[in-house]
Structure 1
Amino acid sequence: MLQALTSVLLPVFFVSGLGALLASRFPVDQATMARVTLYLLSPALVLDVVLRTPVQLAEAAQLGAAYLLTLGGCLVLGWVLGLGRPTEQRRSLSASVGIWNSGNMGLPIALFAFGQAGFERATVLFLASFIGMYAVAPAIYSLKRPSERAAWRELLRLPAIWVTVLGLALRALHVTLPQGLSRGVELLAQATLPMVLLSLGLQLGAGGWPPLTRRIWLASAARLVGGPLIALGSGVLLGLQGQALAVLVLSASMPTAVNALLLAREYQADTETVAGVVLLSTLGSVLTVAAVVAWLPRLGS
């Protein structure tokens, strides 16, 4: 399993490293890259996941509720860690603990640990977390705005929200996209991960290694250790058992998502803090995720 984890993490560091090398040598418009990912590639990924994933409605609803409860606990934990710090940093710490990488790391690791059945459950959680991320992060990063109406406008302008509604409607009506269109969506979805990883590398390459302060260490520990513990409690509280509970815990043990950094950049939040937690939690996840995977058979049996 450690070899499998390495095969997942090594490409992450490789692609991010190339982005850092590029940014250290050439000026790159990071804001434009972030917006291409945010407004074009990520919505395509959501639509592709919604249309392709086999979902049992009852279990999907239960997993979604468990995710929401876990999300709330992690956001509160991150907010508490930021007490006494400037508002912008406190908001970024909360988002860093509450937004985890359930996609490009969580999905393949779930497949390695539980096979196809676990992968399908992990895909449901990925979709829930993707929607939750785009619903929660803009609200957190926009708390300084003068009114709730402004925050809702920021949320509703994100195409990922509308694409999710469209995808669910197409599935409910049993409508299949024309082959040419579905292939185009799939191509855009496949481009999302490389762009996201490059954006992380560009941030690190342009700004250098972020300062790993005590708060960043605590936030990384909260994400990697507190996340799975909160997920375990949430899942038990909502009656999840066996593999469904194990997949929830595994998902919540992932490091901070790079998309948290993209959204922080889009909403002019504390990108230095978010980049630090993304980097440190990703490095630390090599050990912590391996430990969680080794322990999970007790839940999945």
Structure 2
Amino acid sequence: MTALGIILPVFGLILIGWVASVSGLISDKVSDGLSEYVFSIAVPALIVGTLSRPGLTGEIAWSYWFSYFGGAALAWAIGSLIGIRREGVGKRGAILHGFAASQSNTIFVGVPTILHAYGEEGAFPLFMLLAVHLPLMMGAATFLIEADGERSLLQRIGGLGVVLARNPIFVALAIGLAMRGFGLSLSGIPKNLVEMISASASTCALIALGAGLKRYRVLHDLPGAGVVAGLKLVLHPLAVWVLAFHVFTMPAAYAGVAVLFAAMPVGVNAYLLANRYKSETGLVSAAVLISTLFAALTTTAWLFVLGRA
């Protein structure tokens, strides 16, 4: 499988979703509904079905976590420092700069791309990283933003726990890991249903992402958004590549999954967090759009570097 064979279907579906939305072929309501379906049903079904599948084996070493989150921490720190130096950007804005520079679009782009590139050997490290990535990154961002608020530490931790407990992705990961731990697997009609739903996850996710790109404002603070996108697409995966391949030791598939995970564009969660706290919404939304557009080129380059071309 060549790099173009991996990238063209992924970003081709994003383009189809964008054209359909811009042309009015599908409405914003359809885009919203499709996104909710992907997030609440399709990807959770894919996660449960994959993690509970017999024969899926793997072990995660600490070097894997250090490689990915070490790179994320570097991108976050530099993004925040750049944000602090920009005029009119407060503490919350600087945190969101860093968060956007290190928050990967895992559900809509990461899962389809990595599964296409690494297949079965990449499934276990992918979903293990996804399991830790969601609570750790969102939890750290929320905690830092609210650190100077009136809520106590216990209240902030409790609030984060409630948010995660209501997150379909996190719940699916918990169910899949529990089934894996107890040696349970799906069979019969439940297995067929989960497989049918799982088969729609990648296509629907990419179409939904493309349709949603119409809403992001690319002209808002273009230089600042370009810096955030550059940190996300270049610095983050480069730092992970150095750590995974030249500092620590791990299976090649694990190292490659970590790098590709880091190479994904700015995640939609960054925009949702900026919108929630009413800070740097325009810059983050523009960074989501710019990074998604350029990710087709940078991801292709990383596939060549990783030998998956």
Do these two structures clear the TM 0.5 threshold for a shared fold by scoring above it? Answer: yes
Greater shift, 260-269 or 181-190, is seen at 260-269
**Contact residue 106 and residue 122 of structure 1 kept, 8 A:** no
2:64 pairs with 1:63 = yes
Alignment of 1:81-230 (within 5 A): 81-84=82-85, 85-102=89-106, 105-106=109-110, 118-139=118-139, 140-141=141-142, 143-144=145-146, 146-147=151-152, 148=156, 149-206=158-215, 209=218, 211=220, 213-230=222-239
Work out which of the residue numbers 9, 12, 24 in structure 2 matches 1:10: 12
What is the deviation of 1:112? 6.7
Q: Could you tell me how far apart the structure 2 residues matched to 1:272 and 1:154 are?
A: 25
Q: 1:54 to 1:21 in 2, by over 3 A?
A: farther
Greater shift, 265-274 or 279-288, is seen at 265-274
Q: CA RMSD in A?
A: 3.6
Greater shift, 220-229 or 42-51, is seen at 42-51
**Once the two structures are superposed, what CA deviation does each residue of 1:241-295 show, in whole Å capped at 9, x if it has no partner?**
6454344323322322445546666787755433322221122223322322333
Q: 1:66 to 1:119 in 2, by over 3 A?
A: farther
Q: Could you tell me how far apart the structure 2 residues matched to 1:68 and 1:198 are?
A: 29
**Once the two structures are superposed, what CA deviation does each residue of 1:12-63 show, in whole Å capped at 9, x if it has no partner?**
221233234449x856387666555444344223213322385443356653
Q: Could you tell me how far apart the structure 2 residues matched to 1:39 and 1:108 are?
A: 16
Q: 1:267 to 1:44 in 2, by over 3 A?
A: farther
> What letter corresponds to residue 228 of structure 2 in structure 1?
A
**Once the two structures are superposed, what CA deviation does each residue of 1:55-84 show, in whole Å capped at 9, x if it has no partner?**
443356653453333333333333333224
The residue that corresponds to 2:260 in the other structure is: 250
The residue that corresponds to 2:296 in the other structure is: 286
Q: 1:64 to 1:103 in 2, by over 3 A?
A: farther
Greater shift, 166-175 or 53-62, is seen at 53-62
Greater shift, 206-215 or 180-189, is seen at 206-215
Alignment of 1:224-239 (within 5 A): 224-235=233-244, 236-239=246-249
Question: TM-score with structure 1 length normalisation?
Answer: 0.77
> What letter corresponds to residue 80 of structure 2 in structure 1?
W
> What letter corresponds to residue 103 of structure 2 in structure 1?
I
Aligned residues: 293
Greater shift, 61-70 or 164-173, is seen at 61-70
Q: Secondary structure at the match of 1:82?
A: helix
> What letter corresponds to residue 59 of structure 2 in structure 1?
A
Q: Secondary structure at the match of 1:100?
A: coil
Question: TM-score with structure 2 length normalisation?
Answer: 0.75
Greater shift, 161-170 or 194-203, is seen at 194-203
Q: 1:74 to 1:121 in 2, by over 3 A?
A: farther
**Once the two structures are superposed, what CA deviation does each residue of 1:80-125 show, in whole Å capped at 9, x if it has no partner?**
3322423444343333222224566556655776xxxx43343234
**Once the two structures are superposed, what CA deviation does each residue of 1:196-247 show, in whole Å capped at 9, x if it has no partner?**
4454445443455452522210111111110222112332333236454344
Q: Secondary structure at the match of 1:8?
A: helix
**Contact residue 104 and residue 265 of structure 2 kept, 8 A:** yes
**Contact residue 16 and residue 197 of structure 1 kept, 8 A:** no
**Contact residue 16 and residue 207 of structure 2 kept, 8 A:** no
Q: 1:131 to 1:274 in 2, by over 3 A?
A: farther
The residue that corresponds to 2:52 in the other structure is: 51
Q: 1:30 to 1:86 in 2, by over 3 A?
A: farther
